[in-house]
Amino acid sequence: MDKLKMQSTNKVAENVKKIAELFPNTLTEVIRGYREDGSQIVERAIDFEMLRQELSDVLVEGPEERYQFTWPDKKKSVLLANSPINKTLRPYREESVDFEETKNLYIEGDNLDALKLLQETYLGKVKIIYIDPPYNTGKDFIYEDDFEQLEKDYIASSGQLDLEGNRLVTNIESNGRFHTDWLNMLYPRLKLAKDLLSDDGVIFISIDDNEVENLKKVCNELFGSRNFVASIIWERAFSPVNLKKHFSENHDYILCYAKNLDILECNGLKRSIETDNRYKNPDNDPRGPWTSSDMTVGPEIKEKLYEIKTPSGNVVKPASGRCWLFTKERYLEMLEDNRIWFGTKGNNMPRVKKFLSEVKQGVTPMTIWKYSEVGHSQDAQQQLKQLFDGKAYFDYPKSVNLIKRIVELYSNQDSIILDFFAGSSTTAHAVMQLNSEDNGNRKFIMVQIPEETDEKSDAYAAGYKNICDIGKERIRRAGKKLSKEDTDLNSKKVDFGFRVLKVDTTNMQDVYYSPIEYKQGELFKLEENIKLDRTPGDLLFQVMLDLGVLLSSKIEETFIKDKKVFDIEKGYLLACFDTDVTSEVITEIAKKQPYYAVFRDSSIANDSVATNFEQIFENYSPTTIRKVL
């Protein structure tokens, strides 16, 4: 039986392993310190000088000047992204909607922690990421990551923050580290987010002029410049602000990058009725409605210059400097297939018939998105006011139609959409609305730090003490509204629910060895290693995180010999955290042959049961992976 490690993935160790597989001769060992008994603590590491040589076709003798994008503490932000944390996600059923059935998630907490905790479970599973990070205007709050602690002993403390918890600070323009602090905030989060994207996934990031240049450089570094898809301009306002001295800005940017542009596919925009109405069928062609296009192009190509005789007897040829679209042989084939149109009287210049049934069903989007198509900030505020009885609570929310277009362009009906700067939860609203329109089964994951609302604000007066309170309530109200509007008897019920999970300290006691330090012979010997305020549900979700089980998985509670057993996804994972678990209970669980079986150290009734534990599983389900915490 193995011990659950109960901490997020160690990205450094993973990266060392990957590099060692490619360049075995770069793998080395270094002394990281000494134990109390004087023995050395030795870890695997990469010889960077050897790696540099492997990646160079000339002799590497020392540092060289090269093109690069850097800023103070950049290396520390990389280390911050790679360092593991001893934290978990705790479920809050009372704040959730349809907890048992929903596949949607709302995660409350620092998004850096949340992204680390999601690495094991959602690696390569997210189709679309949309984020609206702080624009760094000098008034926005940004995350203040603890680089001082990081520099001293960050890894040893496993990423724990100070007693004040998550910190948000205003990044004022007079700050000498104005751009540096913003980059250090965003870089590790984007680095982690990339790993969550599927190979055919895509990320959209809203930004304005303050940081668009830096953001693009960061994305070019993390995603690769070859995976740049587009820089979209969203017309977020429609009237000028006359108080502005020079120009009244009325646009924001949305940068779009693919995980792998070679396999990224765009669904395109839905064809409008107006566009389809341009297709007619005046000659009753059995292939259906069609429209025609010019059959001449420029400049002249000799083999495409020839005379054509129309059905009425006229002889026509292209205008000077132009030629036909096809060679004569290809033209005759098209004529034979009734794909050339000479007009109702048969005496016009030839045109090519293009059938509605053969054209691309999705219209290729352009990079300027007008407010008339996707809405604007004032429109988005009005949408919030309608939901919240006349109060918007957010100054610059995003339009539902704006996010819905993003989701439409690249998702399929079962995609996972992530937003780790969730704000007012516009992305969740857009996903639910699109699902209600096309009967889709897309899932959302919202992540938001519980930033406190101003005590003088309307939100605070209404009982919303932090942004998460507003975001969760927005999803509840939008779900109810969409449910009432959805009068069609859809074959599939739209998911308007969400599970609330909150980032918290590990469920394990502070006075214990790191789980990965336990040895096989020490299992079942501890008195109690779980914090007293933690519930079996808390333990279950930390187990799901550790084993890579989707946090939206179906959870059923059953009882075996009066002991509660969690059944995840119909026997994929069976977990029992009760005390005094007997051999009979273990036997019944083993007979169900789960893929995983998980217990607590203190669950086992006595030493005799512990001794027989492995033999029971060997008899009834030898392939089951057994874990304890």
Q: At 159, is the pLDDT very low, low, confident or very high (cuts 50, 70, 90)?
A: very low
> How do residues 576-585 score in pLDDT, each as one tens digit?
999 899 999 9
> How do residues 515-531 score in pLDDT, each as one tens digit?
555 555 454 444 567 88
Q: pTM to 2 decimals?
A: 0.79
Q: At 285, is the pLDDT very low, low, confident or very high (cuts 50, 70, 90)?
A: very high
Q: At 81, is the pLDDT very low, low, confident or very high (cuts 50, 70, 90)?
A: confident
Domains and CATH numbers, the chain: 9-67 (no CATH), 96-139+182-266+363-502 (3.40.50.150), 273-360 (no CATH), 514-628 (no CATH)
- Model pLDDT, residue 405: 96
Number of C-beta neighbours around residue 474 at 10 A: 24
Mean pLDDT score, 422-430: 96
Average per-residue pLDDT for the chain? 86
Q: Give the per-residue SS3 of 570-621.
A: CCCEEEECCCCECHHHHHHHHHCCCCEEEECHHHECCHHHHHHHHHHHHHHC
| Residue appearing with tokens 């048992």 | 100
- Model pLDDT, residue 36: 74
Predicted confidence (pLDDT) at residue 54 exceeds the cutoff of 80: no
- Model pLDDT, residue 155: 38
Predicted confidence (pLDDT) at residue 418 exceeds the cutoff of 50: yes
Torsion angle, alpha carbons of 601, 603, 607, 611, to 10: -80
Which amino acid does the sequence have at 256?
A: C
Mean pLDDT score, 483-492: 64
- Model pLDDT, residue 243: 84
- Model pLDDT, residue 391: 85
- Model pLDDT, residue 158: 36
Predicted confidence (pLDDT) at residue 67 exceeds the cutoff of 70: no
> How do residues 262-273 score in pLDDT, each as one tens digit?
999 999 988 777
CB of 410 closer than 8 Å to CB of 266? yes
Mean pLDDT score, 137-156: 54
**Choice between 170 and 203, residue whose per-residue pLDDT is larger:** 203
Q: What Å distances lie between residue 180 and 71, 427, 537, CA to CA? A: 6, 28, 40
| Residue appearing with tokens 């969203």 | 234
Nearest to 127 by CA among 196, 224, 205: 196
Q: Which of 38-52, 172-186, 605-619 has the highest mean pLDDT?
A: 605-619
What per-residue string of b and e applies to 393-414 under the rule 16 or more CB within 10 Å gives b? bbebbbbbbbbbbbbbbbbeee
Q: At 602, is the pLDDT very low, low, confident or very high (cuts 50, 70, 90)?
A: confident
- Model pLDDT, residue 272: 73
Q: Name the β-bridge partners of 126.
A: 197
- Model pLDDT, residue 82: 87
Mean pLDDT score, 45-63: 75
Q: At 162, is the pLDDT very low, low, confident or very high (cuts 50, 70, 90)?
A: very low
> How do residues 93-140 score in pLDDT, each as one tens digit?
999 999 999 999 999 999 999 999 999 999 999 999 999 999 887 776
Q: Which residues contact 366 (CB under 8 A, 6 or more apart)?
A: none
Q: Which helix (H) or strand (E) holds 476?
A: helix 467-485
**Choice between 43 and 425, residue whose per-residue pLDDT is larger:** 425
Q: Give the per-residue SS3 of 375-440.
A: CCHHHHHHHHHHHCCCCCCCCCCCCHHHHHHHHHHHCCCCCEEEECCCCCCHHHHHHHHHHHHHCC
Question: Could you tell me the two tokens for 166?
Answer: 């998550």
Question: Could you tell me the two tokens for 321?
Answer: 């400097």
Q: Please report the DSSP string for 218-266 in residue order.
A: HHIIIIIGGGEEEEEEEE---S--TT-SS----EEEEEEEES-TTT---
Cα(40)–Cα(29) distance, integer angstroms: 11
Q: Residue 390: left if φ>0, alpha if ψ -120 to 50, beta else—which one?
A: left
- Model pLDDT, residue 517: 56
Q: Compute CA 361 distance to the chain's CA centroid, rounded to the nearest angstrom.
A: 27
Cα(602)–Cα(527) distance, integer angstroms: 7
Among the residue ranges 236-240, 290-294, 404-408, 594-598, the one predicted with the least confidence is 236-240
Q: Which residues contact 155 (CB under 8 A, 6 or more apart)?
A: 79, 83, 84
Cα(412)–Cα(407) distance, integer angstroms: 9
Q: Give the per-residue SS3 of 64-104.
A: CCCCCCCCCCHHHHHHHHHCCCCEEEEECHHHCECCCCCCC
Cα(459)–Cα(474) distance, integer angstroms: 12
- Model pLDDT, residue 5: 67
- Model pLDDT, residue 519: 53
Burial zone of 580 (CB within 10 Å; 0-12 exposed, 13-18 middle, 19+ buried)? middle
What per-residue string of b and e applies to 128-142 under the rule 16 or more CB within 10 Å gives b? bbbbbbbbbeeeeeb
Predicted confidence (pLDDT) at residue 544 exceeds the cutoff of 90: yes
